[in-house]
Structure 1
């Protein structure tokens, strides 16, 4: 069992070899055994998949940007499969800070915008709230940032 309160701040970046799969609009849109995950105090892990793993969809730039003090400026992406779209469902860091250079050319996806996101064949639960993009698996212990009353953590 991993306790998210044991994760560091600033966050850690680590490779993960467990299979990661994302399903949307009735198809597998991304799959890899070469993802990276960001571990930050109070947050479930955020999984970054290589852009090349997204073979079952079209990615289109979406409006807006955000800034992370650790990773830099993020761009957003909409995910299309046929005529179904998940607006601003993914994000990336085209020019990340040196500590997070490995996530260049990777995308993270909001699990709640997809049909299913899986880690090692386990369907994840999206991190609570509308901003954070962590994936909760049964081996994680919270409470998690994003739940009611956690905005000032």
Structure 2
């Protein structure tokens, strides 16, 4: 393996680890913002602060994702973008459909943002695996 290939592989690995780190921090702050007011504190000001941190970490995830996509080849980028498009579509459709059903009082299940997050994570995973298999 030549130095250019090693350098590219190292940059790619660093971008993946960077994305993983930002995602883990964002997910932890999301859980803290969701469950913290019920479990750890009662002050609304602290909740607002944690939500602001969550928003900033979310922006970091977006930037890290863009940087990661810049390091992958065309096929990997195509697979990732297809999976992200499917995930975004499912998230919008499921979220708005639930909102309509809840507004019409046709469902009694009280879904929270964490339910949508889990749904979207599972859809992204399934879409990535499916696309990987299709493009092999």
Larger Rg belongs to:
2
Instruction: Judging by fraction of residues, say which structure has more helix.
Output: 2
TM-score interval, normalised by the smaller of the two chains? under 0.3
TM-score between both structures, scaled by the size of structure 2: 0.24
Instruction: Judging by fraction of residues, say which structure has more strand.
Output: 1
TM-score between both structures, scaled by the size of structure 1: 0.22
